[in-house]
Amino acid sequence: MNFHISEKMASLKPSAIREILKATSQPGIIPFAAGNPAPEAFPVQAVAEITADILKNQPIAALQYSVSEGYPALRETMKRFIAQHDQIGQPYDDLIIVSGAQQGIELSAKVLLDDGDTLICENPSFIGSLNAFRSYHVNLVGVPQTQGGIDIETLERTLQQNPRTRLLYVIPNFQNPTGTCMSLEKRKAVLELAKKYDFVILEDNPYGNLRFAGEDIPAIKSMDTEGRVIYCGSFSKILAPGIRVGYVCAHRDLISKITVAKQCSDVHTTILSQMICQRFVDDYDIDAHIASIRKIYAKKCALMLSELDKHLHPAIQYTRPEGGLFLWCTLPQQVDMLEFCRKAVEQKVAVVPGNAFNAREEDPSSSFRVNFSTPTDPQIVEGAAILGKLSYEMLEAIPAQR
């Protein structure tokens, strides 16, 4: 039978890009397209110890229904954690535990956006968030990024053109997909614009703890004195993504609405996962663990960069990230980026075509995303060589095509 699908979900169609992404999970593929943390970064032993202890001494608490706001001890722990690590927390703020930052983003959109309201994002931006926004049928507008992050002039012009802008979505640290950071000046400018044009900033910070070079830049939320910023954090990159735990810190009026939305969505986040996170932060040396993860990614990123430096055609530009999981490669405009990605997959190296991250997927892109956390070191070496060879083939073919 033919089903009537809601307008908001009917517009979310599988795309050609997702088909390419599907191919990337085939066995034998070098996974530069993924976004998985490195398995060696998981504190397996600690999780096993904590879990055994919880199931021995507090089994009923771990298995029974719990409250939608989250495990009270973890909420307190995370309030302390972001106060210490990110100088976040105003008297009017509250914090809810969610099933990964993805849920924090989705629920924020649900709470704040009516059909047709405008949400502005960096262009390109994280596809998972963009799809969450699309699933509420909002007017999604991307603003390009220049040196140091989102282009402030274009952002202001976009705000003038879209008076129903409710939300600006940004990933200021090691942005997905570009791997770059928003400068302090731009963070301040964005906050000023939020006051001037009366919108809320959704600050997504899954990678902030993964800085392996350079200096930390204050979170936008830490400079906010009005409650205009919703801050989303995650355990996916500092502990493990499979346990699905994230958190949202925002003005208590927003958290209370997000709590109602969460109750409708999944009642509460897996309580065992929440208990594991609380114990891990409170009873283990979380800072030492984060330092060890940073070392892993620093090494992997350096390897990826040195191999790309060695192999890629010099006309290809790429970011040199100071943290996070991704770098962003840009081909000369004459090269067909989708064709490049298709040929790369044929040769067993998967990368993500850049237009997958556009606010409007149909807009052109000359870039592709490369992940360095998922592949093993030998895969990085092998994959970079394959991409390098392909880059010479395709770039040297250009004059002949003219």
Contact 74, 80 (CB under 8 A): no
**What is the residue type of 14?**
P
Minimum distance from CB of 383 to a copy of itself (Å)? 20
186 versus 244: smaller Cβ distance to a copy of itself: 244
Minimum distance from CB of 260 to a copy of itself (Å)? 5
**SS3 category, 51:** helix
Contacts within 8 Å (CB) and 24+ apart, 79-85: 79/249, 81/281, 81/286, 82/231, 82/233, 82/249, 85/209
Contact 175, 181 (CB under 8 A): yes
108 versus 209: smaller Cβ distance to a copy of itself: 108
Phi and psi torsions of 296, nearest 5°: -60, -45
Contact 319, 124 (CB under 8 A): no
267 versus 398: smaller Cβ distance to a copy of itself: 267
Per the listing, tokens 């055609």 go with: 313
> CA-based angle 290:31:331, to the nearest 5?
100
First to last CA, the chain: 51
124 versus 388: smaller Cβ distance to a copy of itself: 124
Minimum distance from CB of 202 to a copy of itself (Å)? 13
59 versus 214: smaller Cβ distance to a copy of itself: 59
Minimum distance from CB of 302 to a copy of itself (Å)? 23
252 versus 343: smaller Cβ distance to a copy of itself: 252
Distance CA 113, CA 390 (A): 44
Minimum distance from CB of 35 to a copy of itself (Å)? 8
CA 19 to chain centre: 21
Nearest 10 degrees: Cα torsion 322, 326, 330, 331: 130
Minimum distance from CB of 84 to a copy of itself (Å)? 25
25 versus 146: smaller Cβ distance to a copy of itself: 25
- Find the helix or strand (DSSP H, E) in which 76 lies: helix 72-86
Minimum distance from CB of 332 to a copy of itself (Å)? 33
Contact 99, 245 (CB under 8 A): yes
14 versus 27: smaller Cβ distance to a copy of itself: 14
Per the listing, tokens 């409710």 go with: 166
Minimum distance from CB of 251 to a copy of itself (Å)? 7
Neighbour count for residue 229 (Cβ, 10 Å): 27
